[in-house]
Structure 1
Amino acid sequence: MLRHIKGKKFLPLIILIGLAVLAGGTNVFSDALQNQVVEVFRKYLEQLVPMSANIFAGLLILSLMYVLYDPLTVGVDRALAATSASNRGKVFVARSLRLAYWVGAVLIGVSFIAPGFFSKIALGVGLLGAALTLALQGLANDLIAGVMLSFSPKVQVGDDIELVGLSVKGKVSDIGYVMTVIQGSGERFSVPNREIWSRAVRTSLPKSSIIRP
């Protein structure tokens, strides 16, 4: 164990001696080997300089998008507050705009950091998209149903509802992109949006109940 530790202590000294020999121009290493090492470092630096510039530009863009996020969010919230849309619609629009903003920011940053990134993965993304379309067909239906529910009076946050044909009953606490959360008595349900959109919903009112198709 002691020998191993002492050997590690001398490793930096050995490296420094090797670098000094190279810098002193001695004949310990052949000229061909020295030229090869210098050429490798030169090519590495030639590639590193533009890469560093791209990384700096990408980080600068992402930093700018981060700084602009808060004032833009305040502006969007004020614009939505001035409209006559329902609270559910406002929340949906605000969430969608925030998601689109950050996706766009990341894509712009990546385009600066790796300019050839999108062209190289275009084919792969196309094939992956086709596979995901088949595999995630139910998820796509939930997304579409979520959009329809956000702009439909069928279900609203705060409604006491019961899904006809399912043992799900309670108060709607959130309508998300793919799931609607219903708070029951002592239990919570996360129901796919396509189930709510395709089924009749019994909504309880103070003195009666109505069924919305």
Structure 2
Amino acid sequence: MDARTYPAKATPKSLRTRARILDAAMRLFAEIGYHAATNAMIADAAHLTRGAMLYHFATREELVEAAIAHIELARARLFEKAASSTPAPGVDASDHAIDAYWALLHEIPFVAFGELEAAARTDPMLRERLASAQSAFDHAQVGDRFGAMVQAGADPRFQTSRDLGRFLLEGLAKGAMTYDEEARRERLLRVVKRAVRMLNRKGDVHELLD
């Protein structure tokens, strides 16, 4: 993190104000979208004047760079908390990990990051600034923590089971079901769990459908 993210002369009051701005940005990105959440709207949500906002973030680029770091830190903290939890008695570790990650995908930091990833497809500035955060999460959080949560090894079979669970859950979270949403979602979650257990060679599961 450089001086643009945390100014050398930052005071405790200034840091609190910056955190309030970044919390507002994260919330608005999740609620109304990256492009709709203008700097002026973020300033208003943080209860600041436009001038006060400019004091802390002179450009959109500076705000976005700091917001990505802020959101990524919030995601990492949530992931660490989830990874420290243990399955209830009788609950398979992979099932527990899938339920935990599914819950995380609906938390504000994860929703906000997903919105940034979607917007980055057509926004070169955002795409460039997002790349390192995506890589860090893929390697450190999902790669290590999620693998530990499902109690899987490091060979290609277990990596594939982890990736299958992760990306199916992320796609399911972003999907738009138009009918029987709850029943279809629960059925798909059961299939994801069974597929991960089959890849991990856990138990005697041989069919994806009940």
By the TM > 0.5 criterion, same fold? no
Which structure exhibits the higher relative contact order, with contacts defined as CA atoms closer than 8 Å and separated by 6 or more residues?
2
Q: TM-score, normalised by structure 2?
A: 0.30
Q: TM-score, normalised by structure 1?
A: 0.30
Between Structure 1 and Structure 2, whose CA radius of gyration is higher? 1
Higher normalized strand content (fraction of residues): 1
Higher normalized helix content (fraction of residues): 2
